[in-house]
Amino acid sequence: MAEHNPLSQFEITPWVPLHIGGIDISFTNSACTMIVCVVLICLWLIGSMRSRALVPGRAQGAAELSYQFVAGMVKDAVGSEGRRYFPFIFSVFIFILFSNMMGMVPYVFTTTSHIVVTFAMATLIFLGVTVIALIRHKHAFFSFFLPHGTPWWLAPLMIIIELFAYLARPVSLSIRLAANMTAGHVLLKVIAAFVVAMGVWGFIPIPFIVVLTAFEIFIAILQAYIFTILTCVYLNDAIHLH
């Protein structure tokens, strides 16, 4: 029955059980998928840029296009001061994009469907931009929670609202990515089960499945973009305090 459960594809399975001090740090299918993702990214970037041809091939062209795309995103959202943070933002975009696309391969674990993974990334980004803001602006950073021109009698309420919205950033950032990837994969699994149950008539909904799969691929790319552009927005707030 587990193989027909649409949620079974998200189960984390320990491959190498390991416990230290009562803490479970087992090597799982999720950890393996993330390692494979990083290896594939390195092989693609290093291999595609090795020749450095004046007229790029498909692999080099794709690598250069992704570089220019993220660079343009950083420039538009953060400005020239965001260039020093480009390597990190590029790494975030490529990792999420590859993780999402790997999840589209049958029987490959989708790491970005787990809130623990997305929340860890979102928390790292949240803490990073907060530290950057504190270093750059010191105590002036706290003026971020009180919009300029706010009446004094409304200040306490505005501070609470702005603080809550700021602290909610890693939650909303992580849930958005995980929820979208989970929902799409569950839907594909459910419809695939219907196709199997229809037997010889299973070919009827195949065109719909093809369209749905294409749409899910679009969502995978879009969610990588949204996660990255929001990271740029948060970084812009930390640098410019607005």
Q: Go through the chain and tell me how many residues it has.
A: 242
The percentage of the chain sitting over the pLDDT mark of 90, rounded to a whole number, equals 45
Cα 213 from chain centroid (whole Å): 19
pLDDT at 86 over 70: yes
pLDDT bucket at 221, cuts 50 / 70 / 90: very high
HSE-up (13 A, CA, CB side) for residue 29: 13
CB-based contact 45:59 (threshold 8 Å): no
CA distance 237 to 235: 5
CA distance 154 to 171: 26
Rounded to 5 degrees, φ, ψ at 24 are -80, 110
Taking residues 135-142, what's their average pLDDT? 88
> For 94-122, how does the pLDDT look when each residue is reduced to its tens digit (9 = 90+)?
999 999 999 888 888 889 998 999 999 99
pLDDT at 2 over 60: no
Rounded to 5 degrees, φ, ψ at 151 are -60, 145
> For 173-212, how does the pLDDT look when each residue is reduced to its tens digit (9 = 90+)?
999 999 999 888 888 878 877 777 776 666 777 788 888 8
8 or 172, greater pLDDT: 172
Helix (H, G, I), strand (E, B), or coil: what is residue 105? coil
Cα 102 from chain centroid (whole Å): 13
150 token code pair = 């706010």
Which pairs from 65-70 meet CB under 8 Å and 24+ separation? 66/90, 66/93, 66/94, 70/228
Average pLDDT, the chain: 86
> For 12-39, how does the pLDDT look when each residue is reduced to its tens digit (9 = 90+)?
888 888 888 778 788 888 899 999 999 9
pLDDT at 132 over 50: yes
CB-based contact 180:102 (threshold 8 Å): no
pLDDT bucket at 55, cuts 50 / 70 / 90: low
pLDDT bucket at 1, cuts 50 / 70 / 90: very low
> For 165-183, how does the pLDDT look when each residue is reduced to its tens digit (9 = 90+)?
999 999 999 999 999 998 8
